[in-house]
Amino acid sequence: MKDSRTGPLAWFAGHHVASNLLMIFILLSGALSLMRMKIEVFPELDTDMVTVSVPYRGASPAEVEEGVCIRVEEAIASVEGIKRIRAVASEGHRHRARRARGGRRRPQGPR
């Protein structure tokens, strides 16, 4: 009777040396790839929005606006790539968000 099993699995089952060599090749390829893989503790991320929050205890919203919001906005006004600046002043706290133009890296400026 003729053996009716054909295909790659049947071939590897009949050729043990070839299957072991293939396994060694796959393991070595994986080990080499693992050693060459770039691993970062803190990967570089591109974001298009930066949020800054500044606590100003005991200050009224007007004092926060004058003492923090306006000064920070003036400091980043010259930074290239800023699309929109939004500032919110409340009692004892100030919040500002800036958004970069689409597709550009986050602009570097005052923090």
Each residue's pLDDT tens digit, 9-44: 888 888 999 999 999 999 999 999 999 998 888 878
Between 26 and 103, name the one with better pLDDT.
Answer: 26
Cα→Cα distances 100→35, 59, 71, 105, Å: 37, 30, 20, 8
Q: Residue 82: phi, psi to the nearest 5?
A: -80, 125
Q: Residue 2: phi, psi to the nearest 5?
A: -90, 140
What pLDDT is attached to residue 2? 60
Over residues 80-106, the mean pLDDT reads: 65
What pLDDT is attached to residue 107? 46
The pTM (predicted TM-score) of the whole model is 0.39
